[in-house]
Structure 1
Amino acid sequence: MTLPTRLLCLTSSICALTFFYSCKAQDKSIIAEGAELTLVASDYKFTEGPAVDKEGNVFFTDQPNNRILKWSLDGNISVYMENAGRANGLYFDHKGNLLACADEKNELWQINSDKSITVLVDDFEGKKLNGPNDLWVDPKGGIYFTDPYYQRDYWSRTKPELEKQQVYYLAPGKSELIVVVNDLVQPNGIIGSKDGKTLYVADIGDKKTYSYTINEEGILSNKTLFTEMGSDGITLDNQGNLYLTGKGVTVFNKSGVQIAHIPIDQGWTANVTFGGKNQKTLFITALNSLYTLEMNVKGVR
């Protein structure tokens, strides 16, 4: 057993105890009894963007290495795509295509089943996007995505072309973007409710997360402060609990009350989603690693 493995075992034991105390206020813990945080792999540079397909396989990105990985139901991890457009956030559309926030050229990609690529969006009103980051597909097939600006060393530009860091909506069958949020500092994580009525957006630059009502044509209204905490990636479970990332994973119920904290022995936790056969496994990307944790709740895909 290597030193990192021994440390992980110790961390997992501590985490299990922390889970118990973090969740004891609930009638039933959201974390499966006896579950421990499991390190799946740790040979990456920076993991991001986990997304689950209809079978429960989980795809995630190793952004600095410019590739997309696939965790399969048999527990194996394989390289799904090299030269992946410096993909960050991922999400599957209703047809089974993998959507990717490909910020190498500031584009939104559709990766088809044969791994051919369709560029869905590459600008806004003739100006280069900042860098699509995270996305969510609504029940109609429309795509919401965040567009913060993070300077990349592989870009030739050194400043944004757009004045604001915004949230956009791409309606089904359309090619023109609609601005749906334009008053945040640095929008990042984004997720919507299964019924398509509520959208959550994390403003990591202002350390806040908001909820919005989704109206006809994808337009948002009723901006409401959900919690005084920002986030990188975010997700929801089938009870309506919202999972925020950064320093581990912090879980809030639908009223915005913190109900759990999952500590991760890494300097940064980037993203989170549910996967596996029954979507009861929480997948967590954190710096060079991928972790899993068995849950009592499940995802809403």
Structure 2
Amino acid sequence: MPPYEIIEPVFQDYILGNAQLKQLATGFDWVEGPVWFGDAGCLLFSDIPNDTIHRWTPNAGLSTYRAPSHFANGHTRDRAGRLVSCEHGTRRVTRTEYDGTITVLADRYQGKRLNSPNDVVVKSDGSVWFTDPHYGIVSNYEGHQAEEELPCNVYRIDPITATIEAVLTDFDCPNGLAFSPDETVLYVADTGRKFDRPRTQHIRAFAVAPDGTLSGGAVFHKIAPGAADGFRVDTDGNLWSSAADGVHCLSPAGVPLGKILVPELVSNLCFGGRGKHVMFITATTSVYSIALIRAGV
């Protein structure tokens, strides 16, 4: 049975009827932060509790990319192709240079330590945007338990001055984030504070001005079942979000179009492969892939 649920007829044009959901690797504790390196033909992803970044390649399978990883979570590539990572353990955002050395992009704001940077994107102007919820410091499971020194904000690192600015300060716990293809919209998930009942869980959308300032922030969509943790956008502006039952596809207007059904709770995803048409999915203990008739930005 194909692993899809079609909600709107247009979703039929996004999927391949004979494409199966493939389990690429399993046996992890909590996988996150997938990022595709097309020039190296590999996928990197984090197993946060086991303090490791893994590498998967189609021919060689699984290997260790970095251990310890400082409890790394989300990753992306900058405009020069370098790995940018969020580290819970060191409470910082780093860049891996071509020679393998590590450059710290952010670890403090106004003299205080960040909480536990979670997810990160790089805009076309080279600015680095990241979320900083408290999940990595509320226990020792995904980092080191510690007190919060700052609110849970969304930050921007200026590409010229390297200064850090808190651009969104009204979130309980910001999580995944992504720009629309033309970068006029920034989507940010709020997954709520760890011990709140009920928790704030929705995706908000912000208009992005040419100078990078943000406005708006209305609720774009609320994922159910589960919550939006990580997500990515395709070239048509559809948003593909993690959920408890798989990956949900939302139109640019926030209308649910369909689902990729996954047998584990999904944490994050990315597009990759030869034409950026393969979706790689991190889901609790496993990593999956599925080919689509859509390409990621």
Query: Is the pair's TM-score, using the shorter chain for normalization, greater than 0.5?
Result: yes
Within 5 Å, give how 1:1-301 maps onto structure 2: 13=1, 16=2, 19=4, 21-22=5-6, 25-26=9-10, 28-55=12-39, 57-74=42-59, 76-150=61-135, 151-153=138-140, 157-162=145-150, 164-205=151-192, 206-229=200-223, 230-247=227-244, 248-266=246-264, 268-300=265-297
Query: Aligned-residue CA RMSD in angstroms?
Result: 1.8
Aligned partners of 2:179, 2:38: CA distance in 1, in Å? 17
Instruction: From the superposition, tell whether residues 86 and 28 of structure 1 become closer, same or farther in structure 2 (CA, over 3 Å).
Output: same
Query: Unmatched 5+ residue regions in structure 1?
Result: 1-12
Instruction: From the superposition, tell whether residues 156 and 24 of structure 1 become closer, same or farther in structure 2 (CA, over 3 Å).
Output: closer
Corresponding letter in the other structure for 1:59: L
Contact 2:32 2:74 in 1 (8 A): yes
> Per-residue CA shift, 1:7-49, capped at 9, x if unaligned?
xxxxxx3xx1x51x42562174312121111101102221100
Contact 1:58 1:276 in 2 (8 A): no
Contact 1:23 1:30 in 2 (8 A): no
- SS of 1:133's equivalent in the other structure is coil
Count of paired positions: 282
Contact 2:70 2:90 in 1 (8 A): yes
Identity of aligned residues (%): 32
Aligned partners of 2:290, 2:82: CA distance in 1, in Å? 26
Corresponding letter in the other structure for 1:179: A
Query: Unmatched 5+ residue regions in structure 2?
Result: 193-199
Corresponding letter in the other structure for 2:13: S
Aligned partners of 1:180, 1:132: CA distance in 2, in Å? 15
Aligned partners of 1:259, 1:60: CA distance in 2, in Å? 27
Contact 2:8 2:256 in 1 (8 A): no
Higher helix content, 1 or 2: 1
Contact 1:232 1:270 in 2 (8 A): yes
Corresponding letter in the other structure for 1:296: I
Aligned partners of 1:185, 1:251: CA distance in 2, in Å? 24
Shift of residue 113, structure 1, vs aligned partner:
2.2
Contact 2:229 2:241 in 1 (8 A): yes
Aligned partners of 2:127, 2:86: CA distance in 1, in Å? 15
Shift of residue 99, structure 1, vs aligned partner:
0.3
Aligned partners of 1:43, 1:141: CA distance in 2, in Å? 36
- SS of 1:26's equivalent in the other structure is helix
Contact 2:247 2:260 in 1 (8 A): yes
Aligned partners of 1:24, 1:216: CA distance in 2, in Å? 33
Contact 1:251 1:259 in 2 (8 A): yes
Contact 1:144 1:169 in 2 (8 A): yes
> Per-residue CA shift, 1:100-124, capped at 9, x if unaligned?
0011010001011222111111111
Higher strand content, 1 or 2: 2
Contact 1:109 1:118 in 2 (8 A): yes
Shift of residue 152, structure 1, vs aligned partner:
3.4
Aligned partners of 1:152, 1:258: CA distance in 2, in Å? 34
